[in-house]
Amino acid sequence: MAVLTEEQSMLRDSARDWVREKAPVTAFRKLRDGAAPLGYDPAAFAEMAAMGWAGVVIPEAYGGSDFGYLSLGLVLEEMGRTLAASPLIASSLAAASALVLGGTDAQKQAWLPRIAAGEAVATLAVDEGARHDPLQTGLSAAPAGGGFSLTGSKTFVLEGMAADLFIVAARTSGARGEADGITLFLVPADARGVTREKRTLADARGYAAVSFDGVDVGAKAVLGAVDQGYPLLERVLDRARAGLAAEMLGMAVQAFETTLDYLKTRVQFGQTIGSFQALQHRAAKMFTELELTRSCVEAALSAIDAESPDTPQAVALAKAAAGDTLHLVSREMVQMHGGIGMTDAHDAGLYLKRARALETTFGSTAWHRDRWGRMAGY
Amino acid sequence: MADFGGDAEAFRVEARDWLAQNFPPAMKGVDLALTVEEPTGDARLWKARMGAKGWGVPTWPTEYGGGGLTPAEARVLQQEMARIGARNPIGGMGVMMFGPTLLEYGSDEQKQRHIPPIVRGELRWCQGYSEPGAGSDLAALQTKAEDKGDHFLVNGQKVWTSGAQYADWCFCLVRTDPNHKHEGISFLLIDMRTPGVEVRPIKLISGVSPFCETFFTDVKVPKENLVGPLNGGWTIGKRLLQHERNSLSGGGGTAGRFASGTPLDQLAKTYVGVDGEGRIADPDLRSRLIRHQMEAKAFLLTLARAAAESKGNQSPSNATSIMKNAGSKVGQDRAELAIEIMGSQGLGWEGPGFEREELEQVRNWLGGKATTIYGGSQEIQNNIIAKRILGLLDHQ
Ligand SMILES: Cc1cc2nc3c(=O)[nH]c(=O)nc-3n(C[C@H](O)[C@H](O)[C@H](O)COP(=O)(O)OP(=O)(O)OC[C@H]3O[C@@H](n4cnc5c(N)ncnc54)[C@H](O)[C@@H]3O)c2cc1C
């Protein structure tokens, strides 16, 4: 665990207590079983926001606490432990970062206080295919009446069913595959021509496919500079990826602890299965990977807070390490539980499904490894 | 760099001045700690000065000749030495393992006698733990020391005794009670020149002979060479192993080893070639190299995190328990990749046709295999994590 300030320790402890009491895995299970339309419980999110968690990376002038990314990461790690569902990553982290980094004062005034208060949910609408690839942005934004007209579609938008605001990556010039020509737009979900449809994945969260059918927006809807949105988008995505990595770390830690408990209680051949060395060494390997991953995740979040030029490398490392480790632990969780791990009544399946969803979100492990390699000159 | 606070920063000036006056510039980058021959010229001067100052063992108490510095001051000294390329000329098992253990468990006479020569780098120590029948299960050791009134009579065999052929002294675990496994072991210091001590070097796969079989035949050892209580050697011996593991896995040593030599990406671009985009031509090798480099980075970040946590007064971090396995894996992977990249040139053994780096890599690769065997093998480390950290039970 990183060396924390007193405020950070308090934040982590209160997140831990709240999550255990108000958002245990059973709470998520209930949401899933009830096919919650948004994929999370708005009342629970309102409580999180009331505790200030929706405003951790938002400046005080706009209603946040400006505690920073390592701080928000601590909260996300606790959320990950119990699979707590909320728009913290999509809205309070990713979209909030986009506005903080790229917004005009008017844009910030319009959205950040409401995001910090949990009154509005905002999200990034970036990917258009099954795999993350922001350079492939093709949704077109054509000049129209002093503003732009947006046409195209986005897939697997996080919290897309709940969102009040989409931050849309669109193409104002150039071709798919090019960084130049990508522009970010703020598009309210109730704008004319916006339609959305729920996409139900194995992890039962609130994804949506969103269509933009000649959606007219004014010039003031542009976030950042026309045609030059890609560098901003990358900075925003890296913040989101670091947060995802923190959530994944929390999940992996809990999946491991649950499995370890089982190794200590399940008896076969007259002894606890945790006394079998074949399982002990796999447990030691998981523990080792968790420790290494924690270092990477904390380093990435700290790099963002320090505005370090190494942030992209640090984030790629964190997302890849978290991806590998969560992948390993979630598989072992099922395996080491034997038959009971295959049942829907057990939590192992919930962790396994959520793990794969996060592994692929905003760049798979392989994608980030390749990215890291390119940055390192490989 | 971290701020060490006023006092340590004041010490920086002192360290810098002293080094400016005492470090022979010709010694820049020269590592004496592991050399076997007695140094001459500037090397001898540098060693003597550091030895007299006690800064080779900066945190050891001054009453036995040590530097008497605080850990913060010692870090400052390390930084100042690194800044000018000065390497610590005082090293070896006496410094890394035996000294700290004796300071904790030895009598005052023992410390007065044995610590100052270690501080000055005058005497070499070797470790007489392993035996043919006692490796991972160290407490199965059989070399016996019989009480003969004024001395112990030692008979038996040790093996894998690193540096025994150059050592002046050996710290040994011996059996003083055959009826109790752990409680029948004592910690004994044996002068390697005593009649009855015989060493035979063993050749390793890397071609060198850094260690020996050591035989003891009716070796008389004075009673005063017993450290701690009779039959109380196991606790002391284990404490020493902790120092061994820390020095094997922690700190700059490991990090330095990864950084040394040509970076793997450059090596690969030279030996394997590049594609149209200027990237390593073999995509499978390229992706394995990236994976390795990321693992190495994760390990270095974990070293840094553990150091920050120990400074931040958090209880010793769990992270330290994984260092030996994680660090040795990164080191071995690196060596395997290096020779793979260099193809047949990377297997060059001796003679013409090979660059110095090629001949070094092959020995690095082979020598590095020991890192998952000694100091508690990889499997033993995993046992320790499983049992002590994770609380899993022994198999019945
Ligand atoms: C280069 C080098 C230098 C050395 N220097 C010294 C020295 O100076 N002084 C000294 O005293 N010793 C020294 N050693 C010895 C070293 O400490 C031993 O090699 C080590 O303790 C392992 O013992 P062993 O070789 O008998 O292997 P064994 O203990 O026989 O192990 C063989 C294999 O079995 C595995 N194994 C053993 N027990 C278990 C278990 N409970 N569970 C799972 N797997 C297990 C091991 O991990 C290993 O893979 C050195 C060794 C090397 C390689």
Lowest mean per-residue pLDDT among A57-66, B96-105, B113-122, B299-308 = B299-308
* CA of residue B160 to ligand 1 center, whole Å: 9
Residues B386, A284: C-beta atoms closer than 8 Å: yes
Indicate whether A303 and A338 sit together in one domain: yes
**pLDDT category, A336, cuts 50, 70, 90?**
very high
**pLDDT category, B32, cuts 50, 70, 90?**
confident
State how far the Cα of A11 lies from the Cα of B374, in Å rounded to an integer: 43
**What's the domain range around A10?**
6-120
Say which amino acid occupies B29. Answer: G
What pLDDT is attached to residue B260?
61
What pLDDT is attached to residue B9?
84
Which of B274, B285, B295, B302 is the best mutation test for A, with the most CBs of A within 10 A?
B302
pLDDT digits (tens, 9 = 90+) for A190-228: 999 999 999 999 999 999 999 999 999 999 999 999 999
Q: By three-state DSSP, how is residue A147 classified?
A: strand
Does B299 reach chain A within 8 Å, measured CB to CB? yes
Does B148 reach chain A within 8 Å, measured CB to CB? no
Residues B290, A376: C-beta atoms closer than 8 Å: yes
- Last residue within a domain, chosen from A228, A245, A262: A228
Residue B244 annotated in active site: yes
Indicate whether A11 and A110 sit together in one domain: yes
Say which amino acid occupies A12. Answer: R
* Ligand 1 atom nearest residue B138's Cα: 21
Say which amino acid occupies A47. Answer: E
Indicate whether A372 and A235 sit together in one domain: yes
Written as six digits, the tokens of A377 are: 């000159």
Which of B258, B280, B292, B382 is the best mutation test for A, with the most CBs of A within 10 A?
B382
Between A337 and B7, the more confident residue is A337
State which of B136, B190, B216, B384 you would mutate to test the pocket of ligand 1, scoring each by most atoms of that ligand within 8 A of its C-beta. B136
State which of B377, B381, B392 you would mutate to test the pocket of ligand 1, scoring each by most atoms of that ligand within 8 A of its C-beta. B377
Residues A284, B265: C-beta atoms closer than 8 Å: no
**DSSP-assigned states of every residue in B136-178:** SSGGG---EEEE-SSEEEEEEEEEEEETTTT-SEEEEEEES-T
Catalytic position from the list B73, B131, B244, B358: B244
Is the pLDDT at B254 greater than 80? The verdict is: no
- Is there a domain that residue A1 lies in? no
- Is there a domain that residue A95 lies in? yes
Cβ neighbours of B3 in A, within 8 Å: none
Between B159 and B241, the more confident residue is B159
Indicate whether A157 and A218 sit together in one domain: yes
Cβ neighbours of B382 in A, within 8 Å: 280-281, 284-285
Per-residue pLDDT averaged across B367-378, rounded?
A: 92
CA distance B105 to chain A (A): 32
Q: By three-state DSSP, how is residue B206 classified?
A: coil
Give me the residues paired with residue B185 across strands: B175
In sequence order, which residues have a C-beta less than 8 Å from that of residue A10 and are 6 or more positions away?
Answer: none
**Nearest by Cα to A259 from A192, A351, A160:** A351
**pLDDT category, B8, cuts 50, 70, 90?**
confident
Indicate whether A127 and A198 sit together in one domain: yes
Indicate whether A130 and A64 sit together in one domain: no
**pLDDT category, A143, cuts 50, 70, 90?**
very high
Indicate whether A108 and A133 sit together in one domain: no
Tell the residue number behind the tokens 């949401």, with chain if given: A31
**Nearest by Cα to A241 from A148, A331, A342, A320:** A320
- Is there a domain that residue A274 lies in? yes
* CA of residue B376 to ligand 1 center, whole Å: 7
**Nearest by Cα to A369 from B39, B95, B293:** B293
Q: By three-state DSSP, how is residue A236 classified?
A: helix
What pLDDT is attached to residue B320?
76
Residues A284, B309: C-beta atoms closer than 8 Å: no
Residues B286, A378: C-beta atoms closer than 8 Å: yes
What pLDDT is attached to residue B257?
55
Written as six digits, the tokens of B231 are: 């039959």
Q: By three-state DSSP, how is residue A200 classified?
A: coil
pLDDT digits (tens, 9 = 90+) for A155-195: 999 999 999 999 999 999 999 999 999 999 999 999 999 99
CB pairs under 8 A between A and B: 123
Tell the residue number behind the tokens 């200590």, with chain if given: A264
Atom 1 (ligand 1): residue with closest C-alpha?
B370
Indicate whether A68 and A107 sit together in one domain: yes
- Is there a domain that residue A297 lies in? yes
CA distance B299 to chain A (A): 6
pLDDT digits (tens, 9 = 90+) for B259-285: 567 889 999 999 999 999 999 999 999
Taking the CA atoms of B302, B307, B311 and B314 in sequence, report the sign of the dihedral they define: positive
Q: By three-state DSSP, how is residue B37 classified?
A: coil
* Ligand 1 atom nearest residue B126's Cα: 8
Lowest mean per-residue pLDDT among A346-350, B190-194, B352-356 = B352-356
Residues A321, B290: C-beta atoms closer than 8 Å: no
Per-residue pLDDT averaged across A325-338, rounded?
A: 98
Q: Which of A276, A296, A321 sits opposite B395 (nearest CB)?
A: A276
Per-residue pLDDT averaged across B60-76, rounded?
A: 94
* CA of residue A331 to ligand 1 center, whole Å: 32
| CATH number of residue A202's parent domain | 2.40.110.10
Q: What are phi and psi of A205, to 5 degrees?
A: -105, -175
Give me the residues paired with residue B174 across strands: B186
| CATH number of residue A342's parent domain | 1.20.140.10
pLDDT digits (tens, 9 = 90+) for A120-139: 999 999 999 999 999 999 99
Provide ipTM, 2 decimals.
0.92
Q: What percent of chain A has pLDDT over 90?
A: 98
Q: Which of B294, B319, B379 sits opposite A291 (nearest CB)?
A: B319
Q: What percent of chain A has pLDDT over 70?
A: 100
Which of B301, B311, B323, B325 is the best mutation test for A, with the most CBs of A within 10 A?
B301
Does B312 reach chain A within 8 Å, measured CB to CB? yes
Please check whether residue A241 is in contact with residue A319, taking contact to mean a CB–CB distance below 8 angstroms: yes
What pLDDT is attached to residue B249?
64
Domains, chain B, ordered by start:
8-90 (no CATH), 125-232 (2.40.110.10), 250-389 (1.20.140.10)
In sequence order, which residues have a C-beta less than 8 Å from that of residue B206 and are 6 or more positions away?
Answer: B362, B363, B366, B367
What pLDDT is attached to residue B252?
40
Is the pLDDT at A71 greater than 70? The verdict is: yes
Atom 27 (ligand 1): residue with closest C-alpha?
B135
Per-residue pLDDT averaged across B32-47, rounded?
A: 84
Residues A280, B396: C-beta atoms closer than 8 Å: no
State how far the Cα of B339 lies from the Cα of A66, in Å rounded to an integer: 50
How many CB atoms are closer than 10 A to CB B65? 21
**Nearest by Cα to A159 from A230, A233, A240, A232:** A240
Please report which helix (H) or strand (E) contains residue A165, including its range: strand A165-171
The CA angle B110-B111-B116, to the nearest 5 degrees, is 120
Instruction: Provide the CB-side half-sphere exposure for B279 (13 A, CA).
Output: 17
* Ligand 1 atom nearest residue B370's Cα: 53
pLDDT digits (tens, 9 = 90+) for B117-143: 999 999 999 999 999 999 999 999 999
Report how many domains make up chain A. Answer: 3
Atom 32 (ligand 1): residue with closest C-alpha?
B136
Indicate whether A236 and A217 sit together in one domain: no
| Per-window interface: B 39-68 vs A, CB < 8 A | none
Indicate whether A283 and A208 sit together in one domain: no
Kind of pairing between the strands at B125-128 and B169-175: parallel
pLDDT digits (tens, 9 = 90+) for A252-295: 999 999 999 999 999 999 999 999 999 999 999 999 999 999 99
What pLDDT is attached to residue B375?
86
Please check whether residue A15 is in contact with residue A4, taking contact to mean a CB–CB distance below 8 angstroms: no
Cβ neighbours of A264 in B, within 8 Å: 391-393
Nearest residue in chain B measured CA to CA from A290: B319
- Is there a domain that residue A189 lies in? yes
Please check whether residue B5 is in contact with residue B72, taking contact to mean a CB–CB distance below 8 angstroms: yes
* Ligand 1 atom nearest residue B369's Cα: 53
Q: Which of A287, A298, A299 sits opposite B390 (nearest CB)?
A: A287
The DSSP secondary-structure symbol of A34 reads T
State how far the Cα of A195 lies from the Cα of A213, in Å rounded to an integer: 8
- Last residue within a domain, chosen from A120, A150, A171: A120
Average per-residue pLDDT in chain A? 97
Distances (CA, A) of A278 to A282, A285, B358, B379: 7, 11, 38, 11
- Report the pocket of ligand 1 as residue ranges, CB < 6 Å: B 126-127, 129-130, 135-136, 160-162, 211, 370, 373-374, 377, 379-380, 383
Q: What percent of chain B has pLDDT over 70?
A: 93
Please check whether residue B39 is in contact with residue B97, taking contact to mean a CB–CB distance below 8 angstroms: no
**pLDDT category, B256, cuts 50, 70, 90?**
very low
Which of B293, B385, B387, B388 is the best mutation test for A, with the most CBs of A within 10 A?
B385
Indicate whether A91 and A45 sit together in one domain: yes
* Ligand 1 atom nearest residue B132's Cα: 26
Please report which helix (H) or strand (E) contains residue A155, including its range: strand A147-157
Indicate whether A279 and A362 sit together in one domain: yes
CA distance B274 to chain A (A): 10
| Per-window interface: B 272-291 vs A, CB < 8 A | 279-280, 286-287, 289-291
How many CB atoms are closer than 10 A to CB B168? 14
What pLDDT is attached to residue B6?
61
- Last residue within a domain, chosen from A166, A200, A228: A228
What pLDDT is attached to residue B1?
35
The DSSP secondary-structure symbol of A40 reads S
- Is there a domain that residue A151 lies in? yes
